[in-house]
Amino acid sequence: MQALPPWLSRGSAVVVSALAVTVVAAGVGAADTDDGYWYFDNYDVASFHEQGIDGSGVKIAVIDTVIDPDAPFLADANITVHEPSFCVPDEEGGEPVPATITGGAASVHAHGTNVTGFLVGNGDRGPKGIAPRAEITFYSWGDNLGDEDDLNCTARGSEGMGYRADAAGALEAALADDPDIVTLSVTGSFAERSQLRDPIARAMREGVIITSAAPNDDSELGGDATSANGVVGVGSVGADGQVPTSEVLDGEELVTVHNTNEWLDVVAPGVGLTVGGGASWEAPEPRNGTSYATPITAGNVALALQANPEATPNQVLQLLIHNTGVDAPHEPVFDPTGEVGYGVVDTISLLGDDATKYEDVNPFILDGDDQSPTVEEIFGETAATGDPEPSVEASREAFPSPAAPTAEPTTEPAPTDSGNTMTVVWIAVGVVVVVAVVVPVVVVGARRRSGRQGVVR
């Protein structure tokens, strides 16, 4: 049988193996995504929970929109909500915007609630969490990504209502609570380009792991945190291991292109996943997007931190890039085309290796004047004087670069997630899975090139 590329996921490995030898063992086939929990079942997550590897003792800060802690899939989860939100009035005496919204249509608070569910959910009409016993603190930017002006901080600001989203304040508050991981699945046009530089530098200096959602489309742009030096930018894949494709205008012609993003570091399950929705959480539905792949990645990192109590956060990040896909452990392989980064996050591979054998260096902090924050901003001036501590990666070119996986595109329409119209398509060896769309944002700074206005969800 041919060797499997290191980026492949569990589900895609079955497909490749079948193509290689033309025979598959009885009962084995391509991943079944019908129930929306393939991300949980294919990677044997429940078996690790049964062994006590369930995120216990790990603190995760979720920075997102608003949350309904009464959602059925969050019952019994350890969640603290920071009140009020960080949608703040410009003048004293303004009414604070709440971070917690309960009752009514789930669409009002679906994004932040479902993102949290992929960390600690119980699967009751919504997500199953990767790290159900992790300690969650939720920080809201008061923006539900919808049309509710009374909740949407961006709308409040544009309508002259005197509100702004304090992105840096949310991250600073999260860091003050001493988390192990911060995960962000939404950033927005309310964040100034340099707003997050200082708190992200602090997070990197203190060894806090940050995961942030990359765009869902083929945009070269990253979100405010996604493009920052040291942050783990997360993209999405389907059960087939393929990256999404998007329809974009080339002049007057619609063309289908493979999604790429230069700030993407790893990819994780993000297609055909069960989320809560409908009226009062009574209508779960399949959804797609990097918004969900990101907490799935953060949950896996939480399991690895718990399973490797003697390892540093940097060693766990090294563990992550050495154990993508099924052919692991392996030397890190970075995809220069921006499709898969270091590969597919794989729970089984990740928890089957020892983090302490790896170098105590964050592989996502790169040296260079074009990085934001710079190494000097993170570690101080001593980092520029040849001091060997801390060491950082000079560039990604030191690693071998594979040809990225490709698929023949189709033009099937994709479902939309929240009020935008980008069509995204997934291909799985003859099986088509549709993927969600994106929300406009402005980026903070470049990790691999200077930031501009872009999209992330």
pLDDT in tens, 185-240: 875 544 554 678 899 999 999 999 999 988 776 555 445 688 889 999 999 888 88
- pLDDT exceeds cutoff 90 at 16: no
Q: How confident is the model at residue 384 (pLDDT cuts 50, 70, 90)?
A: very low
Question: Pick from 125, 131, 141: which is nearest to 59 by CA?
Answer: 131
- pLDDT exceeds cutoff 60 at 40: yes
In 190-265 the beta strands, taken as DSSP E runs, fall at: 209-213, 232-237, 245-250, 253-258
Please report the pLDDT score of residue 53 as a whole number: 98
Higher confidence at residue 279 or residue 383? Answer: 279
Gap between the Cα atoms of 110 and 287, Å rounded: 11
CB atoms within 10 A of CB 123: 18
Gap between the Cα atoms of 405 and 386, Å rounded: 39
Q: Is 107 exposed, middle or buried (0-12, 13-18, 19+ CB in 10 A)?
A: middle
CB atoms within 10 A of CB 41: 17
- Please give the model's pTM, rounded to 2 decimal places: 0.80
Gap between the Cα atoms of 319 and 201, Å rounded: 22
Please report the pLDDT score of residue 46 as a whole number: 97
Please report the pLDDT score of residue 336 as a whole number: 84
Lowest mean pLDDT segment, chosen from 25-34, 39-48, 374-383: 25-34
Gap between the Cα atoms of 211 and 187, Å rounded: 12
Please report the pLDDT score of residue 238 as a whole number: 86
Please report the pLDDT score of residue 244 as a whole number: 67
Structure tokens at 101: 């919204």
Please report the pLDDT score of residue 411 as a whole number: 30
Average pLDDT of the residues of the chain: 75
- What integer is the mean pLDDT of 325-341? 89
Higher confidence at residue 153 or residue 430? Answer: 153
- pLDDT exceeds cutoff 50 at 132: yes
Partners of 213 in beta bridges: 234
Tens of pLDDT, residues 83-98: 999 888 877 667 778 8
- What integer is the mean pLDDT of 416-425? 31
Higher confidence at residue 391 or residue 447? Answer: 391
Q: How confident is the model at residue 313 (pLDDT cuts 50, 70, 90)?
A: very high
Tens of pLDDT, residues 237-278: 888 877 766 666 667 777 666 666 778 899 999 988 999 987
Structure tokens at 40: 């949980």
- Percent of the chain clearing pLDDT 70 (strictly above): 64
- pLDDT exceeds cutoff 90 at 1: no
Structure tokens at 235: 């993209």
Structure tokens at 387: 């001091």
Please report the pLDDT score of residue 397 as a whole number: 44
Q: How confident is the model at residue 34 (pLDDT cuts 50, 70, 90)?
A: low
Tens of pLDDT, residues 52-69: 999 999 999 999 988 999
Look-up of token digits 């030096």: 229
Tens of pLDDT, residues 285-305: 998 889 999 999 999 999 999
CA Rg, the chain, in Å? 20
- pLDDT exceeds cutoff 80 at 453: no
Please, which residues have CB within 8 angstroms of residue 267's CB and are 6 or more apart in sequence? 7, 234, 235, 236, 237, 243, 293, 339, 340, 341, 343, 344, 345
Domains and CATH numbers, the chain: 10-455 (3.40.50.200)
- pLDDT exceeds cutoff 80 at 371: yes
